[in-house]
Structure 1
C-alpha cells in the first residue's frame, strides 16, 4: 500500500487511507511529479507510524529544527552556529529526506558534493554535524541505529603556528597599537594566551571571578560547564591590578557592552604582519600555552585540566612537536658517533669514537 498520486489542474495531489483513521486527500502544491511523490510517501509513512502507535520519522530539516529548539539553548554558541550553517548551506538535497532514508549512498554522494568546494578537514566536520543530528534521533528512539556506514576521510596534518616567546612582548605591543580605542582587546589576547581561554570565555570574563589573594581565575561560563580555578602568572596579576573593578566584564567595548565573536581578529592580523608571526589566531594562542606547558615538563593530564578538555586526546591534538628537543638529541647522538662541528669554518669532522 502507498499513497495514490494524481494531478488536478497544475498541482499534484495524493490520497490514502490508513485504518483506523479516515481517508486523507491533500494537495502537494507542487508541479514536479518526483517531488510530489516524495511528499506523498512521507505523509503516508507518518500516518502508518501513528497507526502503529509510534512517532513519524522526521526529515533531516525537521530533525535539525527540533534539535535547535530542544538542544540549542544548552549548547555552546559555536556549536549552534555550526549546526545552523549546516542546515542553511550544506544539506545537499538531504533536508527533505526522512532520516531513515539517509543511507550510505546518500551520505557519500552528499559528501562528494561538499568536497567540490571544500577541503577534506571541512568534509569531516560536515560529517560530524550530520552524525550529531541523526544520532540524536537514535537516542530518542526514532531510529534503531545510524542508517549509514561512512568513515572519515584521512587528512594530512599540517604544522600549526605558535606564538614564539621571544616575540610575545612585541606582539602584544602591536595588538595594543592596533586597537587604541579598544584597550580591552589587549587584555583579551593576554588572557587567551596566559590562561588558555577560548575566545568565548574571554568575551564573558568577569572581574568577580578573580581571586586576588590566591592569584586564581575561575571561568564562570565555559564550553564544558566546568568551574575550575586556574592559577594566574604573577605577571598577569600585576597587569590586571591597575584595571581592577569590583564586578562586571573584564573585556568589553568602551560603552561597557559585550563584544561579538571575532572581535580581536583585526588587531591580531596587524600584529602578525608586524612581527612576522603568520597563522596566530585566538585559538592558536590557546594552543601556544598548551605547547609551552608541555615543553616545560607539565604532564598532559595537568594540561588537560588547565584547558578544561573532557578527553585527553583533544589536549594531545593541541600540542605541537618541540623540535628543539630533537636538535639536542641529534647533538648527543653526533657526539657519541664521534662527529663534531668546527665552529671556525663549519666543516664536519669525523673522529674515532672514544669511550
Structure 2
C-alpha cells in the first residue's frame, strides 16, 4: 500500500492511512512525478513512526516472528494452530503489510477458508488472525487493528457426555483396546476422574500426587495454575497398583511421553463397542464438569477444579442431562397428584448405582 495522489485545480494532493490514522494533505506541487515522490516519502515516514522506526512486516513475516518468539513458551496445540494458519490459510493476506490489510481483505480471505471449512472453524481462523494482529499492536508495529470483522453466528450442536450406566463397560472396552499400552487406559481415567486436558494427562507426574491428602496437583496447565484436585477412591486404587516414586504417570513402553491424540483411537473403539456417540478426550473433561454440577457441586467450585478463569467458560462445559430432567418431571407430577400408570415405568430411566465407582 502507498499514498494515493489526486489533483485539485493545478495542485496535487495525497492521502493514505497508516495504523488506523488517515492522512490527507496538499503537496503544493504542480508536477505529478514530484508529488508522487513527496507522497511516498511522507507515507514511508508515517509507517516508520507507527512501527517504532521499523518497516511494517507482512502478515507472513509477522506469523514467522510470532512462532519464533513463542515456540519455547506456548503450548504445543497453540503453536500448531498458528503454524497451520501460516502454512496453509493466509491466502492473499500473507504478502500484504499488516497495516494494509482491510476489512474487505479479511472478509474475502475468510470466504475462501469457508469453502472447505465450517463456520466454527472460520471463527477459529479469525481468532488466530486477531491474535497475530494484536501482538503487532502490543509490539508497537501497529497503532491499532486496521480491520474489523465480527465472528460468524454458529448453530450450537448437542455434545455428548459419558453415561454413568455405560461407564464400566466403556472403560473395559478402553482397556481391551489398549492391552499393548495400559498407560493409555490410565490417561483416560485421569481425564474422566479429574477433568484433565489431554496435554495435562500426557505430562502428569507421580510426584504431583499427595497420597496423604488424597489430591493431585497438575504441574503443567494451560492457565499456569497449580490447583490441588481431590482424587476419588476408585482412581487412587487404580493408581496405587502402578505407583512409582517419580516420573511420568502416563508413558510409552520406552518411558517417553505420548504424542497428542494418543488416546483417540482407543476411545473411538470403546464408543463403537458400547454404542456411545461423541466421546472424545475433551468430552471426558466435559463429562467430569457436568457430573460434578449434577451432583450438586456449586458452579464456583466446578470452575476452580476445572481451572477456568471465568465461570462463563465453565458453563459452556455443562451439558443438560435429560434423564435428570425426566426424573424431576415425574416427581413434580407425583406432587401435583397426576395419575401415574404402572406401564409408564418402562419409560423411566434406570437408577444409577452411585456406589459403582470402580471403572
How would you bin the TM-score normalised by the shorter chain?
Answer: 0.7 to 0.9
Secondary structure at the residue paired with 1:175?
helix
Deviations 1:222-248 (A, max 9, x none): 111111111111111111111101111
- 2: CA distance between counterparts of 1:43 and 1:80? 38
Moved more, 42-51 or 58-67: 42-51
- 1: CA distance between counterparts of 2:201 and 2:217? 12
In the TM superposition, what is the alpha-carbon distance from 1:315 to its structure 2 partner? 1.0
Deviations 1:192-231 (A, max 9, x none): 1101111111111111111111111111111111111111
In the TM superposition, what is the alpha-carbon distance from 1:163 to its structure 2 partner? 0.6
1:226 paired with 2:222, answer: no
> 2:334 touches 2:340 (CA, 8 Å); kept in 1?
no
- 2: CA distance between counterparts of 1:182 and 1:44? 65
- 2: CA distance between counterparts of 1:173 and 1:337? 43
In the TM superposition, what is the alpha-carbon distance from 1:345 to its structure 2 partner? 7.9
Aligned pair count? 309
1:129 paired with 2:121, answer: no
Distance 1:104 1:71, change over 3 A: same
Distance 1:296 1:137, change over 3 A: same
- 2: CA distance between counterparts of 1:345 and 1:276? 25
- 1: CA distance between counterparts of 2:86 and 2:55? 21
> 1:2 touches 1:44 (CA, 8 Å); kept in 2?
no
Q: Tell me the C-alpha RMSD between the 2 structures.
A: 2.4
Distance 1:44 1:185, change over 3 A: farther
1:57 paired with 2:41, answer: no
Structure 1 gaps of 5+ residues are 4-40, 347-355
The TM-score, its normalising length taken from structure 2, stands at 0.81
Alignment-derived partner of residue 142 in structure 2: 143
Structure 2 gaps of 5+ residues are 4-38, 346-359
Secondary structure at the residue paired with 1:66?
helix
Alignment-derived partner of residue 275 in structure 2: 276
Distance 1:49 1:148, change over 3 A: closer
Deviations 1:40-85 (A, max 9, x none): x999966764489622111111111111122232211111110111
Distance 1:312 1:292, change over 3 A: same
- 1: CA distance between counterparts of 2:42 and 2:86? 25
Distance 1:42 1:73, change over 3 A: farther
Alignment-derived partner of residue 202 in structure 1: 201
Matches within 5 A, 1:49-88: 49-50=47-48, 54-88=53-87
- 2: CA distance between counterparts of 1:253 and 1:334? 54
- 2: CA distance between counterparts of 1:223 and 1:242? 29
> 2:2 touches 2:40 (CA, 8 Å); kept in 1?
no
Alignment-derived partner of residue 178 in structure 2: 179
> 2:71 touches 2:79 (CA, 8 Å); kept in 1?
yes
Distance 1:344 1:59, change over 3 A: closer
